[in-house]
């Protein structure tokens, strides 16, 4: 749901106008195909396509915003005391925003700054270390790229799985908001909690390779503690995700992720209110 803070910030501009965490790694039997380990070879290249269209209703009127991005990221894996350490560089990135009220904006013209680094435990617990960002341009704030392993890489239950088995997990992410680039900065903290439900469908053949299809559904709620100009910022947001991943048990990597997301809620700040609804598609492909 990486676009949510971006969209909220854009709307806040019109109204006035680093995540971390993760439990200790769990244990998984070494012969369990549903676990994370250093893959062979210890490298991977992913392509990510992300789209999100949002409609916001504000005192100034209604605004539609369509954001799309395409990213190629190259990852290298190594053993770590917490499981597997992944480091990545963005090989290619493009992103655009189209809006009836704000016009069309090519974002990230100065490139992407920073690198991707995270540690993933055997069962999929993720500790984020760093995330690349698309720089802001004075109108739009800097935004992280859409490759979020906590949303893209499934968690596993640490037991043998058969087709039809289901399991659930909860991912909680806390972040400090240090002051969005607005006329009156927004500061504070934000916590999101996503409850995921997974189901193993079973074998599927893709390009003569047997992959395991796992359906995913999740509901994310946000609990921000923010203020702007000494006044509290109210937020009531519920986001959902539905889709599937294809797990390559031989390589120990996600080969495909297709996720459909929705956002629905409202934000109150500086005596004004906006509501927002929207949806989009996130597609991840392992290409090497």
Measured CA to CA, the distance from residue 213 to residue 101 in angstroms comes to 41
DSSP of 153-198: S----SS---TT-EEEEEEEEEEEE---SSSS-EEEEEEEEEEEEE
Q: Return d(Cα 285, Cα 287) in angstroms, integer.
A: 6
Task: Let me know: does 110 contact 135? Beta carbons within 8 Å.
Answer: yes
Closest C-alpha to 235, from 182, 191, 179: 191
Contacts of 110 (CB under 8 A, 6+ apart): 135
- Banded model confidence at residue 100, pLDDT cuts 50, 70, 90: confident
Query: Could you report the per-residue pLDDT of 48-57, keeping only the tens digit for each?
Result: 999 999 998 8
pLDDT recorded at residue 233: 79
pLDDT band at 102 (very low <50, low <70, confident <90, very high): confident
Residue written as token pair 């369990």: 32
Q: What is the rounded average pLDDT for all residues in the chain?
A: 84
Percent of the chain with pLDDT over 70: 83
Domain regions of the chain by residue span: 3-286
Give the tens place of pLDDT for each residue, 137-195: 655 666 788 899 999 999 999 999 999 999 999 999 887 776 555 666 777 888 889 99
Read off the pLDDT of residues 215-228 as tens digits, 9 standing for 90 and up. 999 999 987 777 77
Q: How much is the average pLDDT of 117-136?
A: 92
Which has the closest alpha carbon to 146: 156, 135, 134, 129? 134
């Amino acid at each position: 749901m990486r676009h949510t803070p971006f969209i909220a910030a854009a709307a806040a501009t019109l109204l006035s106008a680093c995540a971390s965490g993760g439990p200790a790694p769990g244990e998984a039997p070494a012969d369990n195909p549903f676990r994370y380990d250093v893959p062979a070879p210890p490298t991977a290249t992913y392509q990510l396509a992300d789209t999100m269209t949002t409609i916001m209703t504000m005192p100034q009127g209604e605004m539609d915003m369509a954001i799309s991005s395409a990213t190629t990221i190259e990852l290298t894996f190594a053993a770590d005391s917490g499981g597997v350490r992944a480091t990545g560089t963005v090989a290619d990135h493009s992103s655009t925003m189209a809006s009836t009220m704000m016009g069309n904006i090519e974002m990230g013209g100065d490139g992407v700054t920073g690198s991707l680094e995270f540690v993933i435990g055997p069962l999929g617990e993720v500790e984020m270390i760093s995330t690349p960002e698309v720089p802001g341009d004075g109108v739009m704030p800097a935004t992280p790229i859409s490759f979020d392993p906590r949303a893209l890489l499934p968690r596993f239950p640490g037991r043998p799985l058969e087709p039809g088995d289901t399991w659930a997990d909860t991912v909680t992410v806390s972040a400090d908001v240090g002051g969005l680039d607005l006329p009156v900065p927004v500061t504070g903290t934000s916590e999101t909690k996503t409850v995921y439900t997974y189901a193993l469908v079973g074998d599927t053949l893709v390009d003569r390779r047997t992959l395991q299809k796992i359906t995913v559904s999740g509901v994310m709620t946000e609990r921000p503690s923010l203020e702007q100009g000494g006044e509290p910022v109210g937020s009531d947001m519920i986001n959902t995700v539905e889709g599937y991943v294809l797990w390559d048990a031989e390589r120990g990597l996600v080969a495909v992720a297709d996720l459909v997301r929705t956002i629905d809620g409202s934000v109150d700040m500086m005596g004004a209110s906006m509501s927002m609804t929207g949806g989009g598609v996130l597609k991840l492909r392992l290409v090497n």
